[in-house]
Structures are given as structure tokens and as C-alpha cells.
Amino acid sequence: MSQPATADRSTGIPPDALHNDVLLRELAQLHRTRHETFLYGSEEALRRHTLRTGQLEAEFVRRFPYRQVTAARTRAGARARETAAHIEATPA
């Protein structure tokens, strides 16, 4: 009698199997832990963190291709912020 196949949980639940709320929660957790993993995690931990973040972000974009984009988070918005900061810093 063969043993039942067990899922490899080391890479987590496949992104396409996650409910929207779980996907968002997982992404938030990965974004919160990124800096600490980058600074103090092993090469393997950083590799896995990067891989999982990429998988979940790709799944999010696949599900929500027309997600809301804030104008300030675009290149044009960044240039406008730089211009405003430069004008503000320039003596009158």
C-alpha cells in the first residue's frame, strides 16, 4: 500500500488557491518582514522570501489588473513632488 502524497508546505499554499483576503494578508505580512529578512536572514531565507513575494504579487496583479493607482505613486507624481520640494526650498 502506498503512502498518500503530502503537499510540500515549505513554499506555502499556491497563490491561486488563496482567497482574496488571505492573499492580501499574506502580502502585507511579507512586506512588513522584508527589511528584516534582507538585513538578517540567511541566503536561503532571503531567496524564499523574494520568491514568495513575487508569486503573491503576480497573483494579486493577475486578479486585479485594473487596481487603483494613486497619481502620486507614478513617475509624473514623483517629479511633481520633486519640483514642489525644490520650489519650497528655494529662497524667495
Cell of 79: 517629479
Predicted pLDDT at 56: 97
Cell of 15: 497563490
- pTM exceeds 0.85 for this model: no
Which helix (H) or strand (E) is 75 found in, with range?
A: helix 75-89
Predicted pLDDT at 2: 46
Q: What is the DSSP letter of 90?
A: S
pLDDT digits (tens, 9 = 90+) for 2-33: 444 555 556 789 999 999 999 999 999 999 99
Place of cell 538585513: 39
Which helix (H) or strand (E) is 26 found in, with range?
A: helix 20-40
User: How many Å apart are CA 4 and CA 14, to the nearest integer?
Assistant: 19
